Amino acid sequence: MAAVGGATRYRLPRSSSTSAAEAKEDYGAPSMEERAEQNSASMAGEDEPKDRFYLVYISMVVTGAGILFPYNSYIYSCRRLFLLHIS
């Protein structure tokens, strides 16, 4: 492994016949299974953050209304203008 600009660069395996243990030694990085075990173990003791005043919920509702109301009024006005000009 060579550190380049603060990031670690890993080598590609030279042949497809390398085993998982050999690949781990080459890369120095944990496998996907090991990462999943580490994440589940680290998250087991943590509680979810509390949204006491429902600020996230309210912001999502306001954002949805802010997007849907103009879109619906545009669609309705286009349809109305289309029907007025045809009939």
Q: Residues 10-53: pLDDT tens digits?
A: 555 556 565 655 555 556 677 788 888 877 766 666 677 788 89
User: Rounded to two decimals, what is the model's pTM?
Assistant: 0.39
Q: How far apart are the first and last CA of the chain?
A: 73
C-beta separation of 11 from 26 below 8 A: yes
The backbone region for 54, taken as left when phi is positive above 0, alpha when psi lies in -120 to 50, beta otherwise, is left
Domain ranges, ordered by start, for the chain: 2-44, 51-87
Question: What is the Cα–Cα distance from 69 to 75, expressed in whole angstroms?
Answer: 10
